[in-house]
Structure 1
């Protein structure tokens, strides 16, 4: 029996995932979380084989959380993410993840990834693999230089969220968000949030 822990803050996605995985005779869902805060402690208190971890959750999240969860003995991390950019895949795997699956992947690919990673293999979903190959053959666009946290800020800014709203959502200070915003503007050679929106629209990021 493969014991699973699901960490994802999107309720509809998480509930759908639970339904699909619970239909597998060799899977058992032993826990779930909607925030990164206290996640390591919760997983440490359980017997868990594979942790399905969303990179972008409220509270503690991102590559640092992947590293912390991966350090828990006996638990293998499979990242679930909407991001296909190679920086996310590479950084997640370097941080200790043994699998990387995009949320656009078919359910059977996720199921196969869980079984393979539980057996000791390392797996990157086909869609992420194709994106890696494609991006390696093309010049890197400026947004690939953003750190995972900067990308979180960028994604929220281009949807119209204010700095204060982002700070509340990510459970960080307004100063922290403002600093990341300044770095994003600098890296993307943008002067205003409107410039970021235009950049995102031009590249299909919003």
Structure 2
């Protein structure tokens, strides 16, 4: 397996050192850089080959959200947001900006390593205690005070059309994804082979025009397939 090249972006030296120590025990992970703000992260990713960036949100010069948008928009690496849940709205903005997932700063070493491997492998982090909480909070803001008769925006109409393009089984898979289930858990819940689940996931991602599982969960809430609290 190729070595996974990781960049650490956090303005706290102790945090960077702690994550670097955790990752250093893995033969297939190399910490290739440590930076103190979002602009340095953007510059480093542009000048070096980086696979995964562990990105803090609140940093000087350029925050992690804008840095994530610039890095992922240029295809310079995949971003995992580091969070302590101080600002859920920041986290949702980071999803929209292209982040592949979230990691709590007090994560266990094995969780950090698994997260890096997952994102490097093309997966998104959908831990229920992180992603669903953020998405549901934003969804409440979207739908909580809106009267039922309010006309749909052009974007909402587009999302409904994309949603209608899914088969019933694909909708079931998307609902399960939104609850944080892995492919293996999905297969068990829906009594399907894991290969079949992977096929459904790939198909629905293409149909709703999103990049990964995190974006798919955002779509599930924004399109109205799932309502907050369901």
Give yes or no for contact 1:101–1:124 (8 Å, CA) kept in 2.
Answer: no
Measured after TM superposition, the shift of residue 124 of structure 1 is: 3.2
- In the TM superposition, residue 8 of structure 1 has moved relative to its aligned partner by 0.7
- How many pairs were matched up? 140
Distance 1:14 1:77 in 2: 15
Q: Which segments of structure 1 move beyond 6 Å, counting only runs of 4 or more? A: 136-140
RMSD over aligned CA atoms reads 2.5
Larger radius of gyration, structure 1 or 2? 2
The 8 Å contact of residues 38 and 66 in structure 2, kept in 1 or not, is answered as no
Gaps of 5+ in 1: 141-206
Cα deviation 1:79-136 (Å, max 9, x = unaligned): 1121265433322111001111121332222211111110111113443146348858
- Quick check: 1:131 aligned with 2:120? no
Q: Which residue of 2 aligns with 1:184?
A: none
Deviations 1:36-58 (A, max 9, x none): 23431221111110011111111
Q: 1:107 aligns with which of 90, 106, 109?
A: 109
Deviation digits for residues 11-34 of structure 1 (CA, Å, limit 9, x no counterpart): 111111101101111101111101
Aligned match of 2:121: 119
Give the unaligned 5+ runs of structure 2.
143-230
**Counterpart among 56, 81, 96 of residue 79 in structure 1:** 81
For the 8 Å contact 1:84–1:131, the answer to whether it is kept is: no
TM-score by length of 1: 0.60
Q: Which residue of 2 aligns with 1:32?
A: 34
| TM value normalised by structure 2 | 0.54
Pick the aligned partner of 2:100 from 89, 98, 101.
98
